[in-house]
Amino acid sequence: MQPTTANAASPLMSDTETKVPALPPLLDPTIATLLEHSPGRVMELVEQFGSPLNIVWPHILHKNLHAMRSVLQAHGVEHQIFYAIKVNKSQSLVHAAVDAGLGVDASSLYEFRDALRAGAKPEQICGTGPAKPDAFIADLVSRGALISIDSVEELAVLESLLSDYRDNWPIRVTLRYRPSASLQSRFGMTANDLEHCLRKLSTQKAAFQFEGFHFHLGGYRPAPRAEALCELVDWVDTARALGLSPRMVDIGGGIPIRYVESDSYDAFIASHHDGHYRNATTPTSFYPYGGRMDAQKWLSLFLASPCRDGQNIADYLKQENLVLGLEPGRSLVDQTAVTAFRITRVKALGENDYVLFVEGSSFSACETWFNSEFLQDPIHLPCGLAGANDDKPCRAYIAGHSCLDEDVITNRFLPFQSRPQTGDLIVYANTAGYQMDLLENEFHRVPMPNRIAVNSDLTTVVLDDLSGEAE
Ligand SMILES: Cc1ncc(COP(=O)(O)O)c(C=O)c1O
């Protein structure tokens, strides 16, 4: 029962159609050791908790945090990190973030409640989200959380609540800015709206405590964020001229992570073609799975970007006594989880091509629903039944259990060194960042997959369930 990467190059594959460059996943050493030395333990856990099984190592979040903080500290920048709780429904990851002293970015009433349940102090939570329901706003106000106001209309709702919540004055707010890099976005405010809100806040200082500006951009490049922060420099001055005291600029999330080694990734992208996909379609858009930027490099580049009067961003923030707010999701949960699928049927498509049906669905590994692919090789753990796996190389794509033809975990044909069998496991690494549970549902009335939180040597295994408790 030795683990292999599904795409490990095989000398027997002479057909150019099947010669796909390997994309082995990067693995945290804890996880690599488990998969390499104790695959039977993973089998036991799937036996016990079902397939697919999400396995979470919360302690790895602390490593990611440490790496980010070391850059921020090296630049001497005051910072406040809010864990973007939307990235995963694991409550143990929220606990890990809170235990490490992080704040939480909550985009719904339910995320807010789960953050509180994990022990987050309300004043360390920021409520984001573009169209907060009244009940969410009311809860944020009554608990003294920070509220990122997305629009003139949202400020009006807050103003309408002022008399009911007099005991909770001042209500702590930031204003969400719409950077010039995303003018078509419906999120955040244009210059006119921002000015309108600043003026409103400046006339209601007893009721509102204006704490600064916020933005979040799609994509993962540091440059548009650096530009957006520079665009806010004049707005910080405007706010101060109005007698307000901004203390923070919160740049949202979007710090990238790496799933596969960069050279393999570049080689893959350069050589894959329609013949490598069961639908004969090479997807055109991917997350930068093998990008050359990790969180540390990204933060260094961002902080060193030019800002005002020859100063870089780090110097500007320090000079203006501004705190850098960050809302990392994916980058904080890098490497914290894997998802194991049990193969339920292996169906031949041709001499050497197969479809592997797994217990689980593409709703637990969601990129194909975005016309893309989760581009990394899964790890194949044979179940070890005597004689079950012949060593004939083959290629296979992976499908979910449902009746939807589109329910595929990968459209890509993956080369396998030995033909997978019913009962084998397919393990996807690094699934915590949106992969495992963004689209998760109970289609066909199949219960939600289980999630367990484990410690580094798997001596502690606890259910990390959706009711919000790590038991
Ligand atoms: C407002 C806001 N903050 C933070 C995040 C987290 O982004 P990421 O997981 O890319 O760090 C998101 C993601 O959509 C967001 O919308």
CA dihedral 61, 176, 248, 156 (to 10 degrees): -120
Residue 189 CA, ligand 1 centroid: distance in Å: 17
Ligand 1 touching residue 325 (CB < 6 A): no
Which residue CA neighbors atom 4 of ligand 1 most closely?
253
Domain coordinates in residue numbering, the chain:
4-57+335-463, 59-258+293-326
Residue pLDDT, tens place only, 197-221: 999 999 999 999 999 999 999 999 9
Highest mean pLDDT among 1-5, 181-185, 383-387: 181-185
Pocket of ligand 1, candidates 87, 146, 148, 287: which has the most ligand atoms within 8 Å of its Cβ, to mutate? 87
pLDDT for res 13: 39
Contact 430, 338 (CB under 8 A): yes
Topology annotation, domain 4-57+335-463: Lyase, Ornithine Decarboxylase; Chain A, domain 1 (2.40.37)
Highest mean pLDDT among 174-183, 389-398, 441-450: 174-183
- Residue type present at position 125: I
What is the value of pTM for the model shown? 0.94
Measure the CA–CA gap between 374 and 240, rounded to whole angstroms.
Answer: 46
pLDDT for res 385: 63
Highest mean pLDDT among 21-25, 307-311, 314-318: 314-318
Residue pLDDT, tens place only, 240-282: 999 999 999 999 999 999 999 999 999 999 999 999 999 999 9
Which homologous superfamily does the CATH classification assign to the domain defined by 59-258+293-326? Answer: Alanine racemase (3.20.20.10)
Q: Does 10 score more than 60 pLDDT?
A: no
Q: Does 2 score more than 50 pLDDT?
A: no
Q: Which two tokens stand for residue 261?
A: 């080694």
Residue 89 CA, ligand 1 centroid: distance in Å: 14
At 7, the pLDDT band (50, 70, 90 cuts) reads very low
Q: Which two tokens stand for residue 164?
A: 């009911």
Ligand 1 touching residue 328 (CB < 6 A): yes
Burial class (CB in 10 A: 0-12, 13-18, 19+), 53: buried
Q: Does 18 score more than 70 pLDDT?
A: no
Pocket of ligand 1, candidates 61, 86, 220: which has the most ligand atoms within 8 Å of its Cβ, to mutate? 86
pLDDT for res 371: 85
Q: What percent of the chain has pLDDT over 70?
A: 93
Residue pLDDT, tens place only, 62-71: 999 999 999 9
Q: Does 235 score more than 60 pLDDT?
A: yes
Give the residue-averaged pLDDT of 71-92: 97
Q: Does 177 score more than 80 pLDDT?
A: yes
Ligand 1 touching residue 111 (CB < 6 A): no
